[in-house]
Amino acid sequence: MSEGEGRYPRAWLLLDVDRWWDGRPCVDVLFSRECPAIPGSIAVGSIELVEGKLERRLGAPLMNRLQRKVWDAVIAWVEEELLSGFSASGE
């Protein structure tokens, strides 16, 4: 990665329909400019940092209460990464 390129300030949430837990597909988080095309995965939303503000486009899958707590924790982690300078950190 060249200097100034940084990481993309967008996170994509993808359902991995080939991996299941408790009857539900797993969720993957990928940081990239465009939605990645991954066989067996379906995009369920994105979170993007635009001019210092988060723009959320999320379509959460059906979940039980525990899965909802995990989903909320993942969303909080993604937002924290984006707001804490993830796009400029180069890590």
Q: Decide if 4 is inside a domain.
A: no
Which distant-in-sequence residues (6+ apart) come within 8 Å of 75 by Cβ? 47, 56, 58
Instruction: Give the predicted TM-score (pTM) of the model.
Output: 0.74
> Do 22 and 64 meet the contact criterion of CB atoms below 8 Å apart?
yes
CA atoms within 13 A on the CB side of 35: 13
Q: Please answer whether residues 32 and 12 qualify as being in contact, where contact means their C-beta atoms are separated by less than 8 angstroms.
A: yes
> Is 29 a domain residue?
yes
Residue 79 maps to a domain = yes
CB atoms within 10 A of CB 88: 11
Query: How confident is the model over 37-73, as pLDDT tens digits?
Result: 889 888 999 999 988 899 999 988 788 888 888 889 9
Residue 68's domain comprises 10-89
How many domains does the chain divide into?
1
Please count the residues of the chain: 91
Residues 4-37: tens digit of each pLDDT: 334 568 999 998 877 777 777 788 899 988 998 8
Please indicate, yes or no, if residue 63 is contained in any of the structural domains.
Answer: yes
> How remote is the C-alpha of 91 from its chain's centroid?
17
